[in-house]
Amino acid sequence: MDEKRLTELVRSSGCNAKLPPGDLHEVLDSLPHDADARLIGGYEKSDDAFVYDIGEGKVLIETVDFFPPMVDDPVAFGEIAAANAISDIYAMGAEPSVALSLMCFPSCLPLSVMRSIMLGAIAKAREAGCIIAGGHTISDREPKFGLSVTAIAGKESVWTNSGALPGDVLVLTKKLGAGVNMTALKGGETDAAEAIESMRTLNKRARDMARALRVHAATDVTGFSILGHSAEMADGSGVTVSIAFSSLPFFSGTEELARFGFIPEGRYTNEDYLHDKVAFASGLGKRERDLLFSPETSGGLLLSMPRPDAERFVDGFGAPAAIIGHVRERGSVSVDVIA
């Protein structure tokens, strides 16, 4: 009997498997909030990780992320899942130290697949200077994998997604279109090589370069789309962000794949949640909405910076980093998209 492919065992994949943001917030907003002066940042601000004051000027930063596979190569899946989880630490401006793995594994797959997933994750964690020290595994009909990642940082060095200032510009450090490309890959219409290479690439270099400059707010772009994560930054900062569609970098062929209908399901749940938070300029229609509401997986950092620092960053980092918009005083929406 032929060995089953990872992607044929799952209904959804990557960050497209996230719960619809509206459903998630409905539950989170209904939960009691336990106040603790040591908890500097938690889920209530939609930040990438929680920050806990451990005294003497140090904080503990913790995040967790896991999802079903979007590729059939188990090593690549492990690499992408690890890079995606570690990215939350980089989005806080911190250095990952130690991690625990989370594995859901079906009995129909040989254990060699589990080993390969772990080898991919271990290699990526080592690249980040992080140790996978243990984890937890359960039997499940769908494979899923990810990491819980811990960092310790200086209290004053931590970035949040809620410090963007009017006059800042927005920098994006990776191309967009992972969700569209992964949907087309599952349909056999592309090899998605560029998107896969991007997803397995750490945001370490971007974090390293940005730490030498002024960063007022930061996040990474994953399942809630470029618009969703921009809206979280805008709402947390009390500003409006303007994004120029013409400035956005996309993987080669992404717009054509979207025109052919390779649209991830999460695109629609993202728009359902964000419809009253985002305004589009006239002339921007369904094609642009399909691309901008689509989930990303292991996407780039989104940085709000003073323009001189942003220009210095983009010049030093090189493509695909780009200035994609600017921050202004709060208006009637969280995000407006211009041509």
Positions marked catalytic: 15
Distance CA 303, CA 218 (A): 5
Task: Return the bridge partners of 103, or none.
Answer: 137, 145
Strands across the sheet with 96-105, in order?
39-41, 50-55, 58-67, 144-154, 96-105, 131-139
- Residues 6+ away with beta carbon under 8 Å from 336: 240, 241, 242, 243, 278, 279, 280, 281
Q: Tokens for 20, please give them.
A: 């619809």
Terminal C-alpha separation, the chain: 52
SS (HEC) of 47-63: CCCEEEEEECCEEEEEE
Among 9, 50, 13, 325, smallest CA distance to 140 is for 9
Radius of gyration of the chain (CA): 19
Q: Tokens 């690439």 correspond to what residue?
A: 201
Under 8 Å between Cβ of 15 and 85: no
- Residues 6+ away with beta carbon under 8 Å from 338: 242, 243, 244, 245, 281, 284
Q: Tokens 């939609």 correspond to what residue?
A: 46
Distance CA 9, CA 71 (A): 11
